[in-house]
Homo-oligomer: A and B are copies of this chain.
């Protein structure tokens, strides 16, 4: 048995190869959940899993788990993330965590190391939630916090349901959900924010995940001629939408702290330059690390909507598309990541995650933590998303060390404890 070593170039090659699937201009990817590109990406990663000797299992919501046997049977130590992307996604978000998991397996294989407990690498269905709501769908179903039937019935923005698309692309698997509870779960991910890059820190030790509240706001007014309808007589759904966007920014600035608020999606009907819009539909994204603050943000949004109703005489309906309370990861898991990263000579910083991640779902069923590596300029959900190769390698080294310890393998850093 040799000492397992991460091969940064092999990891980079797999990232580049997966990025060719659904490639878009500028070096990014468009692999919306359960579309043709997602299927092609899944097929590629499943092939790699089998080449590495993993036992590949697909469950009823299309999550894929590749298991490497341990010396004993039983629950595996699991790592993983997702390989679906947003429409203008980068190549690292999600993919990096899955492919670093495969690199850990490859390193153990090369060194002839067998761990005490099984090791599993997973990718979860529809983490992004762009095509189907809610996001983190696969990990929610895996962890038992979303019913399978509800997830399968979710209808995509382009028409078909999750169930229909899973069957179409051949990923409606036989493994049961909720899935087997892992011994522990560790997710490696790019930060998708600017903090580590700006501070020059190598590794983010993620202690918590922001709560997320997604609301669809549907405003109904009266369509009318833009030239002949006096301003005072309008019920302008478009104006109400614009005012709402301004209110959403305002509530984020008023609450301060970790509060962020975004209107990323909008549609007007009939959407013609000379017609006062009869309808506007918007998506509002509110996030906070503190549940009480997040509820306050939601209450302010509701109050703004009430004011707009009164001011413009429009009708407003809202629908929750996703709602997750903030999550606090197991403190001993964060401490373990921090200890090993430092023992490997890497600088660390404790931080919350501003984005939602599959790990927050797994946190409900087993000890869980996340490792972040820097994103240059914090750019993500954008083709310009970039993480330096030496950071990609550093994150995978931490992941290897932590998984090895959790699974009862050899001690790979000076930081080993009996944890």
Contacts and interface: CB of A to CB of B under 8 A. Distances in A.
- Give the one of A226, A229, A238, A381 with max B CB within 10 A: A226
Contact of A260 (B229, B267, B285): B229
Nearest to A131: B272
A278 B382 contact: yes
Contact of A228 (B238, B263, B264, B354): B354
A268 to B, nearest CB: 5
Given A224-B381, A262-B236, A277-B264, A231 B243 contact: no
Contact of A194 (B229, B244, B245, B378): B229
A344 interface: no
Contacts of A272: 86-88, 130, 264-265, 283, 381
A231 B407 CA distance: 40
Interface in A255-278: 259-268, 270-278
Contact of A214 (B261, B273, B379): B273
| Number of chain copies forming the complex | 2
A249 interface: yes
A42 interface: no
B268 A273 contact: no
A275 B378 contact: no
A264 B242 CA distance: 11
A253 interface: yes
Nearest to A244: B242
Contacts of A58: none
A323 B224 CA distance: 21
A364 interface: no
Given A236-B262, A243-B245, A245-B243, A275 B88 contact: yes
- Nearest first, the 8 closest Cβ-Cβ pairs linking A and B are A242-B245, A193-B228, A273-B283, A228-B354, A226-B262, A227-B355, A227-B354, A225-B380
A381 B87 contact: no
Interface string A51-91: 00000000000000000000000000000000000111000
A270 B382 CA distance: 10
Interface in A179-195: 191-194
Contacts of A271: 264-267
A141 interface: no
A101 interface: no
27 contacts: A86-B274, A87-B270, A88-B223, A129-B273, A129-B274, A192-B228, A194-B229, A222-B379, A223-B381, A223-B382, A225-B354, A226-B285, A227-B287, A227-B354, A227-B356, A228-B355, A228-B380, A238-B266, A241-B242, A241-B245, A243-B245, A266-B268, A272-B283, A272-B381, A273-B321, A274-B285, A275-B381
Contact of A263 (B210, B242, B355, B356): B242
Interface string A368-412: 000000000011111000000000000000000000000000000
